[in-house]
Amino acid sequence: MTVWQEDAARDLVLNAGERFALLTRGEGSYLWDDQGKRYLDFLAGIAVTSLGHAHPVFVDAISKQAATLAHVSNYFATPPQLELAARLKRLAGAGIDGRVYFSNSGAEANEAAFKLARLHGGAERPRIIALENAFHGRTMGSLAMTAKAAMRAPFEPMPGGVEHIPATIEALEAALDDRVAAVFVEPIQGEAGVVELPEGYLAAARSLTLKHGALLIIDEIQTGAGRTGAWFGFNHEGITPDAITLAKGIGGGFPIGALVTFGAASSLFTPGSHGSTFGGNPLGTAVANAVLGEIESARLVENAAARGVQLRTVIEGIGSPLVSGVRGRGLLIGVALTAPVAGKVVAAAQERGLIVNAANPESVRIAPALTIGDAEIEEFQTLFATALADVRVGMTASETGKVDA
């Protein structure tokens, strides 16, 4: 065990398990560890570093704002906060009635959305609908909406009223009634292995929630900020939700989240009904403004759409017997495997100098910076193909049998 591993084992809580490497710097789509080894980063901190590492726009925004004003309480407004709120409303199409609440993470944004649903529902609408295989965070409210028994069990009882249903239009139709306060959905279920909702699901959810007077709240924490080749995942179906939650890519690596409300949902929060000491501070909002401004001016949403198609073609073209399919949109991609060896693929890829993620035993998640081009994709193809081949060679007889079946 190295010195840094001993330090981590002694000083860090065990929630994340053993760390894979000690990373010391980054630039663009590359990271370096303490031994000087270079990695091609095709995870981007799990869809966070939209512009890659140490992007000049990101660095400049932090430097300038830190030298001006880093934090004040939310008893006051600041120019970056107001600018970001207006920008998010414009990008999301929230209109003049839209409002923005700022948090520090996606889980906090979903916690605020959970409270929004409660405010809307009151005693007459105690039910909240979420989907099987959903992931909305690890705070108590967001965990209540997360459909992962292993995550929930140690902390039960959960806040009540949440029901998980299959991700089908038929199940949603059967579950909705006038006692439902809100329906929470992810356009693509990232933690489930990058699994898309059935075609037309969001449009049906919008129609059904309007019919029953329930809120439609869309978790865009992983799919927002251009990740899917549109500004937000809900844009692909042309609907208008009641609220969306954001984090990850909007800050490009700086911790920031947001709840954006639309229409009548914007009047539900009143003074004192929710808050955050650090949420919406000038440093975080200035950085998010810079990141989103660069995504917009550099046409990185369009790049995500085009590079996503290119990347899917590359993965399918590898022709590995370990790959059974490719899922997702834009630069949020799930590689379905024919055997439960995702952990081995991730380890082999890291050994070769490529960072990807095992969303579950049979799915590899890929979510690079929105800035990638031909050179990064060509290198990814070589490294990922080699990692798949390495795992194939080292598979057990039972694992090989599953692949060949």
Q: Could you list the residues known to form a binding site, using ranges.
A: 106-107, 135, 138, 219-222, 276-277
Kind of pairing between the strands at 188-189 and 23-27 = unpaired
Residue 254 bears catalytic tag: no
Among 248, 254, 344, 384, the active-site one is 248
Residue from 326, 309, 299, 302 nearest 230 by CA:
302
Annotated binding residues for N(2)-acetyl-L-ornithine, written as ranges, equal 138, 276
Residue from 347, 372, 374 nearest 356 by CA:
347
CA distance 188 to 234: 10
Q: Which residue(s) pair with 397 in the sheet? A: none
CA distance 340 to 362: 4
Structure tokens at 332: 């949020």
Whether 285 contacts 101, CB under 8 Å: no
Whether 193 contacts 365, CB under 8 Å: yes
Residue 402 bears catalytic tag: no
The end-to-end CA distance of the chain, in Å, is 40
Among 58, 135, 232, 269, the active-site one is 135
Among 42, 58, 114, 219, the active-site one is 219
Helix/strand/coil for 282: helix
Q: Enumerate helices (H) and strands (E) in the chain, giving the number of each.
A: 14, 17
CA distance 213 to 386: 52
CA distance 272 to 33: 45
Angle at 284 between CA 278 and CA 285, to 5 degrees: 105
CA distance 403 to 405: 6
CA distance 186 to 275: 24
What φ, ψ does residue 345 adopt, rounded to 5°? -65, -45
Residue 135 bears catalytic tag: yes
CA distance 366 to 41: 9
Q: Which residue(s) pair with 162 in the sheet? A: 128
Residue from 278, 295, 256 nearest 106 by CA:
256
Annotated binding residues for pyridoxal 5'-phosphate, written as ranges, equal 106-107, 135, 219-222, 277
Kind of pairing between the strands at 23-27 and 323-329 = unpaired
Q: Which residues are the active-site residues?
A: 135, 219, 248
